[in-house]
Amino acid sequence: MDGETKIYGVIGDPIGHSLSPTIHNVAFRKLGLNAIYLAFQVKSENLVRAVEGFKALNIQGFNVTIPHKTSIMSLLDKVDPLAEKIGAVNTVKNVDGKLFGYNTDGLGALQALKKSKVKLDNKKIVLIGAGGAGKALAFTFANYAKEMVILNRTEEKAVKLSKTISENFSLQVKGLKLTQENLKNELKNADLLVNATSLGMYPNVDETPVDKNLINQNLVVFDVVYNPLKTRFLKEAEEKGAKIVNGLSMLIYQAVEAFKIWTGLNPPVKTMFKVALKELKHGK
């Protein structure tokens, strides 16, 4: 580090678990860039001051994670139309003191599924979760799917998101309360089942959003949780013969998109995967 080092980072609360510094710093090193990526724990009541501080210190860009993805939006100078529609920002770029917000979560998920050779065209998708990640995935997948069912513990959130999706896209969509009964009915003829909640994330590794007996071998099951790499949800789906996709690919590919936004360069994806896996295996 020296006086010319460009600083990037991630803000959230909690943030100690984040793999983002590992992923981005290895990419900076590999490409020979004089840059560093740091994790900043920012509590909700300090968000405004943190953003002002980032501007003052000329931080070049930062990722945004729970719980700031929505509240950050009013503090930005400009928000990308897709992020505006989703109602969540996960990537911010500083351009001459002006902050621009983007959402790369959906693209990350799309790339993760593509890498696993999963096609979304004309498929029925059952999506669990209507929060930040759920919204991003719903908006992205709606470009391809023929039918989407959004389930959430708070039914109103699922209904609201389904209405927004149907106003913007021409597919069959509905929002329901997350119950095993509703899941049972919807999974009979579904192609893709997605968990876009934090259920099953370390340390709550015994949690799962779906009773394993509702999962069949015709499903592709995708979990946005990446720690543990194979959640209880994915383990049980695999036991039932379903094809599974873990959350690490999504994490890496949303980071790849953020890296491109900040630097205009293509990062070394394989290297990023390698260090992330290594860190996860060492119990990050």
Establish whether the linkage from the previous residue to 268 is cis, with ω within 30° of 0: no
> What backbone phi and psi angles, to 5 degrees, belong to 36?
-140, 150
For 191, half-sphere exposure in the C-beta direction (CA atoms, 13 angstrom radius) is 15
Rounded CA-CA distance 216/18 in Å is 33
75 neighbors 81 (Cβ within 8 angstroms): no
**Residue 146 catalytic?**
no
For 69, half-sphere exposure in the C-beta direction (CA atoms, 13 angstrom radius) is 21
Burial class (CB in 10 A: 0-12, 13-18, 19+), 34: exposed
Rounded CA-CA distance 245/103 in Å is 21
Rounded CA-CA distance 211/132 in Å is 24
Catalytically annotated residue among 69, 93, 135, 157:
69
Query: Which active-site residues does the annotation give?
Result: 69
